[in-house]
Amino acid sequence: MNEHSLSPPPTGTRAQLVDAAERVLRAKGLARATTKEIAREAGYAEGTLYLHFADKLDLVRAVHEKLLPAFVEVVRHLPERAGTGSVQGNLTELAHGALRLYRDLTPLGSSLFADPELLRRFRALLAERGGGPHRAWEPVVAYLEAEQALGRVAPEADPAAATLLLLGACQQLVFVELMSGPETLPFHDRPDPAAELVATLLAGLSPGPNEMEPRP
Amino acid sequence: MNEHSLSPPPTGTRAQLVDAAERVLRAKGLARATTKEIAREAGYAEGTLYLHFADKLDLVRAVHEKLLPAFVEVVRHLPERAGTGSVQGNLTELAHGALRLYRDLTPLGSSLFADPELLRRFRALLAERGGGPHRAWEPVVAYLEAEQALGRVAPEADPAAATLLLLGACQQLVFVELMSGPETLPFHDRPDPAAELVATLLAGLSPGPNEMEPRP
Amino acid sequence: MNEHSLSPPPTGTRAQLVDAAERVLRAKGLARATTKEIAREAGYAEGTLYLHFADKLDLVRAVHEKLLPAFVEVVRHLPERAGTGSVQGNLTELAHGALRLYRDLTPLGSSLFADPELLRRFRALLAERGGGPHRAWEPVVAYLEAEQALGRVAPEADPAAATLLLLGACQQLVFVELMSGPETLPFHDRPDPAAELVATLLAGLSPGPNEMEPRP
Amino acid sequence: MNEHSLSPPPTGTRAQLVDAAERVLRAKGLARATTKEIAREAGYAEGTLYLHFADKLDLVRAVHEKLLPAFVEVVRHLPERAGTGSVQGNLTELAHGALRLYRDLTPLGSSLFADPELLRRFRALLAERGGGPHRAWEPVVAYLEAEQALGRVAPEADPAAATLLLLGACQQLVFVELMSGPETLPFHDRPDPAAELVATLLAGLSPGPNEMEPRP
DNA sequence: GATGAATGAGACTTCATTCAT
DNA sequence: GATGAATGAAGTCTCATTCAT
């Protein structure tokens, strides 16, 4: 499974079915997405589905498989940006991308928990690919380590912990937004939640020695 | 049937059904939890279920309703602890509680995304209760503000952002752990991820003023 | 079962249940009338129903039993009117009463055909009472025979056939009205269908002797 | 699947299901006809039923739809017979046909009153078809008008009323026969009730002209 | 007599899956 | 490869009926 042949031959049928399944899953939810509707959405007969997938869960798994790369895409070029722009700017941009990503993927991804068998298959897919959501962390960690080497991030900072803090905050913001409604968020009236998260992460909570002194 | 016991005790049929439903939901997942099995698990006939709940989704909603208080319980007494112990200790304890909470609730809570109708009803429940996951943020924010007043947290820090960073990191840690398997975590070999998150949050990423070189 | 004790003792419960059942049957139809709703309508618990009736069909049968007398009531005093007023007036009044009766009873009575077991029990009731819809014919026949004796009805006329013609026309008019809607009736724009039926029945279809040409 | 046979032959699955449903409805009644038994009677799986009908009521409606033409069939060629044979003979033959028709359709048709929703759908069907039981009247009325023109029916007679009298009598005869049992009928010992109805309708009840005084 | 929670058989309906064409 | 009618197991839900209080 190298990078040249990730997608099956140009026989579009399989891909059309996966795309249709994704649309239906987004619209109706896992519990209410039927093979009949997916097939109709794709413009094929219901039986055709079983020429390309072992069963319905296999098709759903294929949808998630298709979405996997999007996860890494957001952070892909981050390490290269070490030393360019400002750390704050780079992380804010990352946070923006993460928010977009989580808004897009949370409904589909969280649905996996509704069906243990589906979750099992998804885990098997991740294992075989050596993938997983944590793969998104690595480039961020690498970026922060590079910035540390450049002196733009404190040498004592823990890049892995910092990554989890930032991405986790983005994910939770979206999770709560989707679950309770956007109007319930403390941040819903702030122009740029991502920027505030980054600012706080950079500054830390501890009162700095300098700051104990009164400012002019 | 006297006037003193109009509302049945919490050990009544309804509560038993909700408890049984929770057990089955945890064991089989929303997609594979059947009314038949829930009734059997509770020791009642299937029809009894419909004496106490409008339909299956109503029962599932009741399970989530029962779990709602647990969310706030974790952070309930946090504000009172401002000024006691150390900020780091208090936040680390919070993080431990949050990790336990998310491990417990993520599978059930995330399942809501599988069924838009269920999610809709759950949102309605939250709206009428004035609740929502964000309610867990408020005591943490209050705690941090109290510590700010005591001078143990930097006055420029944004308590809301800090809360989201810490709780979000905990949630994501659990989410990824449950979705990809614990062995995939960068933190799985560290003795206390919670402590590391708190340490990083307190210190921040920015290099100290002494360490900063003037920019051109 | 003589005429003095047709209705049960003044214990109102049974009668209240029958009345409630009648209301629900009229409102919802036999297929959608539930014991739960009947009991609620009567202001009793569901179990109470089974203290007074063997089962649901027994209750429905009791409703029909209660309605039986109404059938004869319409024609009860007709024989006494022989020789009074005009035959046409008396029959028109009868037809008016029959139309009212059929409008009232057709929905309930016709429902019996939906359940052979219910119909069987209803027939048994009629047999034991020596009753039946045809009992309504007898007073009409008696009236016509009395008028024949008085010379106000042709001596060759068949009173039984005439009765069936008049009452049948009334029943069909209502049946079609209820089944297809009143606006579909050819008679829906006529002021008094009953009068027209009676006029035609009295006059007959045959051309008068003057108009008739001798047949070879 | 060529263009010549887009609509399946009348022996298709749908028609088989409708036929089976009719048989089961006749045998068990609307209240006791189950989808399981209908499917078994038709030789198909229960689920197949829902490929061809929206729900059970839709299937029942289709049964009634199939029976609609029978209603008009009985009277279809009557107008053409004006002037042929005798009026009495033609009407007697009509009455015979009507009796057969009502014996066949009353149990099914009356069942509609058991379920208001079913009745509603049936009315909608009639409305869209421009049909209804009253459509059976029109050819009879046309026939009588033709006979009037030929002088074989009195010019003052009301054809619509006469039609309703005759067909109504036939319907009531059958209705009472089915509801109370044939042995309860006053006519059950007469060789040809239809002939007696027609004779009475033709002659009328009024005493002959000799006995009648001239009207002013 | 009255209650009403509990029952459980069974109804209707859905839907993933198969297979002859 | 594509079809789509047919399948039938399984699901949710209803409701007449019972019985301990």
Higher-pLDDT residue of A64, A7? A64
Q: What is the pLDDT of residue B202?
A: 96
Q: What is the pLDDT of residue B11?
A: 61
Spatial CA neighbour of A94 closest among A139, A131, A134: A139
Secondary structure (3-state) at A2: coil
Inform me whether the pLDDT recorded for C71 exceeds 70.
Answer: yes
Residues 6+ apart with CB under 8 A from C204: D154, D157, D201, D202, D203, D204, D205, D206
Inform me whether the pLDDT recorded for A208 exceeds 80.
Answer: no
Give me the CATH topology for the region C64-203. Answer: Tetracycline Repressor; domain 2 (1.10.357)
Whole-number Cα distances in Å, C1 to C71, C128, C132: 18, 9, 16
Interface probe for C, chosen from D108, D113, D141 (most Cβ of C below 10 Å), is D113
Inform me whether the pLDDT recorded for A1 exceeds 90.
Answer: no
Q: What is the pLDDT of residue C209?
A: 60
How does pLDDT run across A103-143, given as a tens digit for each residue?
999 999 999 999 999 999 999 999 988 777 778 899 999 99
Q: Which nucleotide is at minimal CA–C1' distance from D57?
A: E12
Inform me whether the pLDDT recorded for D213 exceeds 90.
Answer: no
Q: What is the pLDDT of residue D131?
A: 78
Q: Which nucleotides of F are covered by protein (CB under 7 A)?
A: 1-20
Spatial CA neighbour of C33 closest among C18, C47, C50: C18
Inform me whether the pLDDT recorded for A7 exceeds 60.
Answer: no
Q: Which nucleotides of E are covered by protein (CB under 7 A)?
A: 1-20
Inform me whether the pLDDT recorded for A212 exceeds 60.
Answer: no
Task: Centre a 10 Å sphere on the Cβ of residue B73 and count the other Cβ atoms it contains.
Answer: 12
- For B172, the closest of A171, A193, A205 (CB atoms) is A171
Inform me whether the pLDDT recorded for C8 exceeds 70.
Answer: no
User: C180: Cβ under 7 Å from strand F?
Assistant: no
Cα–Cα distance between A210 and B210 in angstroms, integer?
10
B204:A154 CB<8 A: yes
Q: Which nucleotide is at minimal CA–C1' distance from B54?
A: F13
CB distance from B90 to chain A under 8 Å?
Answer: no
User: C42: Cβ under 7 Å from strand F?
Assistant: no
User: A55: Cβ under 7 Å from strand E?
Assistant: yes
User: A50: Cβ under 7 Å from strand E?
Assistant: yes
Inform me whether the pLDDT recorded for A10 exceeds 80.
Answer: no
Interatomic CA–C1' length for residue A39 and nucleotide E17, angstroms: 14
Q: What is the pLDDT of residue D201?
A: 97
For CATH 1.10.357, list the domain ranges present in chain A. Answer: 57-203
Inform me whether the pLDDT recorded for D214 exceeds 50.
Answer: no
C-alpha Rg value of chain B to the nearest Å: 22
User: D62: Cβ under 7 Å from strand E?
Assistant: no
Inform me whether the pLDDT recorded for A150 exceeds 70.
Answer: yes
Q: What angle do CA D193, D199, D204 make, to 5 degrees?
A: 125
- For E11, nearest residue by CA–C1' is D34
Cα–Cα distance between A137 and D93 in angstroms, integer?
92
Q: What is the pLDDT of residue D135?
A: 84
Cα–Cα distance between B156 and B175 in angstroms, integer?
31
User: B46: Cβ under 7 Å from strand F?
Assistant: yes
**Which residue is associated with the tokens 């309770």?**
A180
pLDDT, averaged in runs of 10, over chain B (216 residues): 41 93 98 97 97 98 95 92 95 96 96 97 92 85 96 95 97 94 80 95 82 42
Cα–Cα distance between A10 and A164 in angstroms, integer?
38
How does pLDDT run across C151-190, given as a tens digit for each residue?
999 999 999 999 999 999 999 999 999 999 888 787 778 8
Cα–Cα distance between D39 and D28 in angstroms, integer?
14
User: C150: Cβ under 7 Å from strand E?
Assistant: no
For CATH 1.10.357, list the domain ranges present in chain C. Answer: 64-203
Interface probe for B, chosen from A200, A211, A213 (most Cβ of B below 10 Å), is A200
Query: What six digits make up the tokens of D24?
Result: 């089961």
Find chains touching chain D: ≥3 CB pairs under 8 Å.
Answer: C
Inform me whether the pLDDT recorded for C76 exceeds 60.
Answer: yes
Interatomic CA–C1' length for residue D19 and nucleotide E17, angstroms: 28
In this structure, are residues A146 and A79 in contact, taking their beta carbons and an 8 Å threshold?
yes
Spatial CA neighbour of D65 closest among D113, D7, D132: D132
Residues 6+ apart with CB under 8 A from D109: C179, D64, D67
- For A110, name the nearest residue in chain B, comparing CA atoms only: B110
Chain C residues in contact with D168 by the CB 8 A cut-off are 165, 167-173
Considering the four listed CATH numbers 1.10.10.60, 3.40.50.720, 3.40.50.2000, 1.10.20.140, the one that applies to the domain covering D10-53 is 1.10.10.60
**Percentage of residues in chain A with pLDDT exceeding 90?**
76
- For F14, nearest residue by CA–C1' is B47
Give me the CATH topology for the region A57-203. Answer: Tetracycline Repressor; domain 2 (1.10.357)
Inform me whether the pLDDT recorded for C216 exceeds 60.
Answer: no
Using left for φ > 0, alpha for ψ between -120 and 50, and beta otherwise, residue B132 falls in: left
Interatomic CA–C1' length for residue C14 and nucleotide F20, angstroms: 23
Inform me whether the pLDDT recorded for A44 exceeds 80.
Answer: yes
- For A201, the closest of B113, B165, B176 (CB atoms) is B165
Q: What is the pLDDT of residue D65?
A: 96
Q: Do chains D and C touch (3 or more CB pairs under 8 A)?
A: yes
Q: Which of residues 143-202 of B touch strand F (CB under 7 A)?
A: none
For CATH 1.10.10.60, list the domain ranges present in chain A. Answer: 10-53
How does pLDDT run across D98-137, given as a tens digit for each residue?
999 999 999 999 999 999 999 999 999 999 988 777 788 9
How does pLDDT run across C28-53, given as a tens digit for each residue?
999 999 999 999 999 999 999 999 99
B162:A112 CB<8 A: no
Alpha helix stretches (DSSP H) within A151-192: 159-180
Q: What is the pLDDT of residue B209?
A: 59
- Look over chain D and give the mean of its residue pLDDT values, rounded to a whole number: 90
Tell me the pLDDT band of C11, cut-offs 50, 70 and 90.
low
Least-confidence region, from A195-204, B33-42, C207-216, D36-45: C207-216
Whole-number Cα distances in Å, C85 to A48, C79, C80, C97: 82, 12, 11, 17
Least-confidence region, from A3-12, A105-114, C80-89: A3-12
Tell me the pLDDT band of D11, cut-offs 50, 70 and 90.
low
Cα–Cα distance between D40 and D38 in angstroms, integer?
5
User: A106: Cβ under 7 Å from strand F?
Assistant: no
How does pLDDT run across C98-131, given as a tens digit for each residue?
999 999 999 999 999 999 999 999 999 999 987 7
- For D114, the closest of C30, C166, C184 (CB atoms) is C30
Give the CATH number of domain C11-53: 1.10.10.60
Inform me whether the pLDDT recorded for C211 exceeds 70.
Answer: no
Chain B residues in contact with A109 by the CB 8 A cut-off are 179
Alpha helix stretches (DSSP H) within B45-184: 46-52, 56-73, 87-111, 116-129, 137-149, 159-180
Q: Which of residues 13-72 of C touch strand E (CB under 7 A)?
A: 13, 44-48, 50-52
C21 CB burial (10 A radius; 0-12, 13-18, 19+): buried
Tell me the pLDDT band of A11, cut-offs 50, 70 and 90.
low
Residues 6+ apart with CB under 8 A from A19: A42
Chain C residues in contact with D183 by the CB 8 A cut-off are none
Give the CATH number of domain B63-202: 1.10.357
